[in-house]
Structure 1
Amino acid sequence: MKMKKILGITGIALASALVLAACSSSSSSSSKSGKEEVVFATVGTTAPFSYEENGELTGYDIEVAKAVFEGSDKYEVTFKKTEWSSIFTGLDSGKYQMGGNNISYSAERASKYLFSYPIGATPSVLTVLNDSDITSYDQIGGHSTQVVQGTSTATQLEEYNKEHSDNPVTLNYTNENITQILTNLNDGKADFKIFDAPTVNSIIKNQNLSNLKTIELESSEQPYIYFLFADGQDDLQEFVNGRLKELQEDGTLAKLAEQFLGSADYIPTASDMKVPSGD
């Protein structure tokens, strides 16, 4: 009888544990407020888009996201600082629902993730030493640069090398952030760097990289940046895009671009508020 009683108690305890575990699992995507939690992944080391100030994440992408979710009855956003590559693996696994960190469009990304409307424009510049003999994009062959694997710049220069195999660019792959890469360039450890103008201008100013200058690069396309969503987050995408359209119209995007990117010119036009495609 004692053994049956013990087994009975044990069975009840196990059943209770299973119920609690099930409840915990079913509510894991909800915040304490009862709203649906959106975990937003970012790098947090790439000013002016995402960086830490007084221990808190801020930057253009972060503040735009805060404005998007402000006052929402359905969603509550939390920010997670992680490595660049982990943004994408986290979206793949469902660990994160959303990501943003100066992310541009590519067909490869579009095959795996959902895109928001554009949140800003980031035209590229060619950054070189003041005494460099490079004066245009056509002259980068035979010179060296640092790139991060999987970024749009790395892809662009890998394609350049295929087309200019007789005089390719030396690509030195690194995991260093853009601030360190530009510092290395300033110290003469590379010949050039292609990156977006708002970031480069911010770093050159804040880090006093006086040996560097920038050269504007012509492009037939607006180099917009976006938020990404994990596959299946269609409702979240629709909500965010609706709010981004409102923020573009009421001047919030322009105000944040002026504050973080240095110019209100770095925002999308009303006609460009649409999900990008490869067409």
Structure 2
Amino acid sequence: MGISKRLAITSLALLSTGSLAACSNSTETSDQTTQETQVKTVTVATAGDIKPFAYEENGELTGYDIEVIKAADEFLNDYEFTFKTTAWESIFVGMDSGKFQAAANNLSYTEERAAKYLYSLPIAKNPLVLVVASDSSITSLDDIGGKTTQDDTGTSTAKLVDDWNAKHTDNPSVINYSGEDVSKRLNDLSNGEFDYLVFDKISVETIVNQKGYDLKIIELDTDSNPNNYIVFSDDSQELQEQFNLAIQNLYQNGTLEKLSQAYLGGSYLPDKSELD
């Protein structure tokens, strides 16, 4: 074989090797791109004004609900969570339109929501309480007839009062839909602008203790579900399932307990049987 022929064969071999390397690099790049595109961004909506569940501190969004999602994200390699603050009344509108895929706002269970959205496993136990001035004659829900409260539209607390009114049409309670956050409502209640407030225990105790309001907190014996949840859009079943597995892991490894102590000021975990 002549020198020129050997050189030609060598050149062809080098070209082939280079082509294989190029193909290999292309395949690796394609695999990396595929892996990256498999990570789905989940936009979580919150009003961000309901301490200690979701609020801003030093310009950063935090709170129990927010930190639970961040902790769960460590187990969810296929998802990346981002947070968007919006008005309360825009949260579910945004989920209906596909703008948001999840909501975190100290959300309780209602049949109406469950018919449209997917609920996570419970992440905290947070029963409702009745809040009144310390010298109020109101001692239970039996006393709210003819009295006035403030609330937001579409809340479980407003529904509780509406259901009570449906059974007491002769002397119903009055709901003023103020749109104010719970901190402002508790301030208004302490100033005598209305008669009572129904809200969740953890939020009320946190704010009353911080502000030193002269208010009385009364435990409610109701059939309402005392837990709170993360809520997902109805097309997020796979995300819901993986998130629930992450919540079970966070419960078992003690992370939920640590977050509860840090943000809620005590152990407010749901019953273990509710996480099985």
- Partner residue of 2:275? 273
Aligned-pair distance for 1:208?
Answer: 2.5
Q: CA–CA distance in 2 between the matches of 1:88 and 1:63?
A: 21
2:230 aligns with: 227
Report if the CA contact (8 A) 2:76-2:246 is conserved.
no
| TM-score, normalised with respect to structure 1 | 0.83
Amino acid paired to 2:153: Q
Matched, 1:76 2:87: no
Q: Which amino acid in 2 is paired with 1:188?
A: G
- Point out the structure with max Rg over C-alpha: 2
Q: Find the counterpart in structure 2 of residue 253 from structure 1.
A: 256
Superposed displacement of residue 44, structure 1: 0.4
- Which structure shows the bigger proportion of residues in helix conformation? 2
State the secondary structure of the residue aligned to 1:62: helix
Change (3 A) 1:134 1:177: same
**What RMSD over aligned residues (CA atoms) do the two structures have, in Å?**
1.8
Q: Distance in 1 between matches of 2:217 and 2:149?
A: 15
1:1-33 CA distance string (max 9 Å, x none):
xxxxxxxxxxxxxxxxxxxxxxxxxxxxx9989
Question: For 1:57-81, what per-residue CA distance to the aligned partner results, in whole angstroms no more than 9, with x for missing partners?
Answer: 0011001010000253211111111
Displacement of 1:204: 0.7
Deviations, residues 128-156 of structure 1 (Å, cap 9, x unaligned):
00111111221111211101111011111
1:110 and 2:123 are equivalent in the alignment: no
Moved more, 126-135 or 71-80: 71-80
Normalising by structure 2, we get a TM-score of 0.84
Give the total of aligned pairs: 243
User: Structure 1: which 5+ residue stretches go unaligned?
Assistant: 1-29, 275-279
Deviations 1:72-118 (A, max 9, x none): 32111111111112110111111111111111111111111111100
Distance 1:31 1:121, change over 3 A: farther
Instruction: Measure the CA separation in 1 of the matches of 2:58 and 2:155.
Output: 28
Aligned residues with identical type, % of pairs? 46
Aligned residue runs from structure 1 range 171-210, under 5 A: 171-209=175-213
| Cα distance, 1:221–1:250 mapped onto 2, change above 3 Å | farther
- Structure 1 distance, partners of 2:115, 2:67, is 27
Matched, 1:66 2:47: no
CA distance in 2, matches of 1:31, 1:39: 20
Q: For the residues of structure 2 that align with 1:133 and 1:109, how far apart are their CA atoms?
A: 34
